[in-house]
Amino acid sequence: MKKFLLILCLSVCPVFAQNATPFCTSMSARVHVTALPGKPNYITKYSREEFLKKVGNDVSPYTLGLTVSKLDVHIEATPSISKQLDKYCVSLENVEIELKNVILDVYIDKKYKPSTCEYKTIKSHENYHVAVAQQALVFFKSDIEKAAAQALRGISPQIVYSTGDIQNVALRQVNIINNALKPVIAHINQKLNEKDKAIDTPEMYRKTSALCNNW
């Protein structure tokens, strides 16, 4: 996880004692996930040896270019605060989650100029990897929604007696969602890595190499 943002609005809704609804016993939070595929960043200032060393990934020996992607989430949450006598009830009202590629870098050996067959061929191949990373956001969006919704069902509203405690409680509630999403994100990144390796096969290398003469 990279980060989350708590949008704290200290507008307090009073709850009167004669209200038939028990105070601070339930929470109704809305969760919404937005997928942001991102745009690839093409990097052409390194040689193959340099970018492999820089990235440090376990890559296929058939690699001519390299796409590095990392999927992560950003969480924004709005707490709901109600008051009864000297007590404040803190719960979450709205949770916005952005699922995005925080890294989407495409490395192409600097010896190949953009006008060459080799450059265009490498770029075309790497765009397969880019498409996989971008499409994964849509494919796995429902997994993020389910994990967040399940985490929310396990969060209970909490009573505090000082406005100074409200933000800490709300942050802990958001952190529960954040921690619940970590294994999901790790699983997605693992699947993306497996998919990338499946693309870089000896057959694909031979097919790609046959398209140009000046490797």
How many C-beta atoms lie closer than 10 Å to residue 14's C-beta? 9
Closest CA to 69 of 152, 145, 16, 137: 137
Closest CA to 177 of 67, 47, 33: 33
Q: What is the pLDDT of residue 2?
A: 43
Q: What is the pLDDT of residue 11?
A: 45
To 5 degrees, how large is the angle CA 178–CA 179–CA 182? 90
Rounded CA separation 81/47 (Å): 56
Q: What is the mean pLDDT of each run of 10 residues along the chain (215 residues)?
A: 45 48 82 93 94 80 85 91 91 92 95 95 95 94 95 93 90 93 93 88 88 91
34 Cβ contact list (under 8 Å, min separation 6) = 96, 97, 98, 99
Q: What is the pLDDT of residue 152?
A: 92
The tokens for 59 are 């890559």
pTM greater than the 0.95 cutoff: no
Q: What is the pLDDT of residue 9?
A: 45
Rounded CA separation 194/198 (Å): 6
Q: What is the pLDDT of residue 21?
A: 59
